[in-house]
Structure 1
């Protein structure tokens, strides 16, 4: 199946941002009023074909975006290599492991849909089993409407503490990973937009 035929979760922008009253750019903490109001709209998600959504800014595709911290308080950074799926992001570094979300049959809440999708991506991308991702914590959203990729996506941001021995790049043709002391990151230009915005917001 082509990636464009994947059925993904999306929320109409009009609902998500309450007719633009709740629109934002950058990282939005879950504990803000706006963050809570946006979270409350996620249960109104629809399931659409990815290919139809990639250039339709009237919908926001929900993306899990997991920040990994190891036992030395270092942050996982990975570089997207040319074998990866999103050509618009090749060559850029990222701190977010994740991807598009799918509907979860039988899920009892939006929390379950978000968690199941985030855990699946952690296992697929960096080999972190579900049993090792139980301390996954939702921390907020990331949004950037200033470019064509960001305009059609909304990141649901999670943070998880892991043992670095439990993490490895599963697809070495698409990802190269390393652990970095966040306080030593000074140049944000090498990072994709979402990562740069989070690094500047979450010190």
Structure 2
């Protein structure tokens, strides 16, 4: 019998203590310091995590930008999250599993675990043949639907020096780079997280430029 997938979560009350929000929040370090403090992150079985809103699954959500265009794709039938099949996305990402932890669990630096997960998730889904800068620009929360109620996004912007990205996952279809204007024209077809990120893209880019 296959072992249940384990995913990284924090208790919802930790988010509540720091300050619950809807949409994007740009006070990144304050939240990440709280989420990754010793003893707070943990791995639990994914079936439990998907049904229990007292936990938030930590999900890296990587937006790739080259010049004035953003990578976008449609989630095909092989998507791991069946509730999002057919939706357009501008985020690459997924769950953080124990495989990302290369050091003993009781001494785990979960920030290292998290960063390893970002690299793994991107490498599993796409191949990036370009140099890039990686910035964590926002936290993302949406409790308006059953998917969002059990997930919390950590939004990265990868600014690429060339649009050389090819898909590796079968669930990725119709992948292309599109301008903000083109994305706005298809906004209604997007998953909720991507809609929120598209609406906040200008502020994200300002956040990146202010830190260069």
The normalised TM-score by structure 1 is 0.86
Name the CA distance, whole Å, in 2 between partners of 1:108 and 1:134.
28
By how many angstroms is 1:190 displaced?
Answer: 0.9
SS at match of 1:41: helix
Q: Decide whether aligned partners of structure 1 residues 161 and 66 sit closer, same or farther in structure 2, where only a CA change above 3 A counts.
A: same
**What residue in structure 2 maps to residue 113 of structure 1?**
113
**What residue in structure 2 maps to residue 96 of structure 1?**
91
Is the helix fraction higher in 1 or 2?
2
By how many angstroms is 1:173 displaced?
Answer: 4.5
By how many angstroms is 1:74 displaced?
Answer: 1.0
**What residue in structure 2 maps to residue 164 of structure 1?**
163
SS at match of 1:78: strand
**What residue in structure 2 maps to residue 24 of structure 1?**
21
Bigger Cα displacement from structure 2, 167-176 vs 53-62: 167-176
Q: Decide whether aligned partners of structure 1 residues 68 and 199 sit closer, same or farther in structure 2, where only a CA change above 3 A counts.
A: same
* Aligned residue among 19, 33, 37 for 1:40: 33
**What residue in structure 1 maps to residue 205 of structure 2?**
none
Contact 1:12 1:60 in 2 (8 A): yes
By how many angstroms is 1:171 displaced?
Answer: 2.0
**What residue in structure 1 maps to residue 151 of structure 2?**
153
**What residue in structure 1 maps to residue 206 of structure 2?**
none
By how many angstroms is 1:184 displaced?
Answer: 3.5
Contact 1:133 1:160 in 2 (8 A): no
**What residue in structure 2 maps to residue 194 of structure 1?**
193
The normalised TM-score by structure 2 is 0.82
Contact 1:82 1:174 in 2 (8 A): no
By how many angstroms is 1:185 displaced?
Answer: 2.7
* Aligned residue among 48, 51, 59 for 1:52: 48
Q: Decide whether aligned partners of structure 1 residues 160 and 198 sit closer, same or farther in structure 2, where only a CA change above 3 A counts.
A: same
Name the CA distance, whole Å, in 2 between partners of 1:96 and 1:186.
15
* Aligned residue among 63, 77, 91 for 2:59: 63
Bigger Cα displacement from structure 2, 86-95 vs 176-185: 176-185
Name the CA distance, whole Å, in 1 between partners of 2:8 and 2:69.
31
Aligned length: 192
Name the CA distance, whole Å, in 2 between partners of 1:182 and 1:16.
31
